[in-house]
Amino acid sequence: MSAAAGLPGGTGGTAGGFPSVRPRRLRTTPAMRRMVAEHRLHPAELILPVFVRDGIGEPVPVSSMPGVVQHTRETLKKAAHEAVRAGVGGIMIFGVPKEEDKDAVGTAGTDPEGILQVALRDVRAEVGDDIVIMSDLCLDETTDHGHCGVVDERGRVDNDATLERYAEMARVQAEAGAHVLGPSGMMDGQIGHVRRALDEAGHQDVSLFAYTAKFASAFYGPFREAVGSSLQGDRNTYQQNPANSREALRELSLDAAEGADMVMVKPGLPYLDVLRDFAEHARVPVGVYQISGEYAMVEAAGRNGWIDRDRAIMETLTSFKRAGADLILTYWATEVAAKL
């Protein structure tokens, strides 16, 4: 007996030497294919990452991410309205301060008048609870060295000193109106430390979307343009080694124990195996971030006529659903939600 014959829906019988079991019967028309599709995207599962930059009068295009801009406060509010109308589930806001406001400890990240906190108040006042407002909780956009934490005298990122800064950031972001905070720095213990800080400040209802497996990836390049990164060196001592998958499950167990409300894999396409592992083991919603380099590749190939851009977008997003994602951060969120 062949291996396939023992499987459900295997080769089955034949008629006159031709197959009697024909999977193609379920692919005959668009309506048939829609009806039997195993995985479907929904606008509410999509989250739109956006950038807001201090001190600009017009949106600034991100050259390596065609179609993406650094927003002004006013255009960010418009983008939030567009996302709401399209049915997008969430909006993740990244703040880009002025260069002169960056310093060694990321003061702009804890200043109530820093661009991210101001933008959170703007969006919350504009759309209220009509969309889940998420805030990036990391220091890299606000430090003059570009690292995600406080750097010690030997040039290393000090894990525990950084946790104290994250706690301060969490409080001001929650007070500014964020529904969800996204600690993305990959510091040990960040979820537990931030959770305690929020609870002690009376923000028990603010959720934590943990960047649980954030890999030290080559695909972050365009993002660093988008946030005006000042990175010196690399982040290999705190972001996860791309060669490791068991380590990702260890991070998952730690974040779960520390109180993460949602967990994330970042990047997306190169780590579908890790995403599948998370979907099988997590007891909270699992997200995936389709990052800037993934976006840029599809846009560049589409603009050169090498691939069908629209089909490629839907295919990549569907691959995340098939791997088990409950939530997808994508720069195409509003566009795709409107089509859905």
Active site residues: 214, 266
Give every CB contact of residue 31 below 8 A, 6+ residues apart in sequence.
Answer: none
What b/e string do you get for 102-118 counting C-beta neighbours within 10 Å, with b at 16 or more? beebbbbbbbeebbbbb
Q: What are the CA-CA distances from residue 61 to residues 52, 70, 136, 222, 334 (Å)?
A: 12, 6, 20, 12, 17
Q: What are the CA-CA distances from residue 200 to residues 133, 165, 204, 208, 267 (Å)?
A: 21, 15, 8, 15, 32
Q: What are the CA-CA distances from residue 319 to residues 46, 200, 273, 288, 314 (Å)?
A: 14, 40, 11, 11, 9
The structure tokens listed for 4 are 């396939």
Give the residues across from 327 on adjacent strands.
287
Of the candidates 220, 219, 224, 225, the residue with the CA atom closest to the CA atom of residue 60: 225
DSSP letters spanning 44-64: GGEEEEEEEETT-SS-EE-TT
Of the candidates 83, 79, 81, 95, the residue with the CA atom closest to the CA atom of residue 135: 95
Of the candidates 175, 183, 184, the residue with the CA atom closest to the CA atom of residue 205: 175
Residue found by looking up tokens 């005298």 in the block: 153
Distance between CA atoms of residues 122 and 120, nearest Å: 5
Asked if residues 313 and 287 have their Cβ atoms less than 8 Å apart, the reply is no
Give the residues across from 50 on adjacent strands.
93
Distance between CA atoms of residues 191 and 264, nearest Å: 13
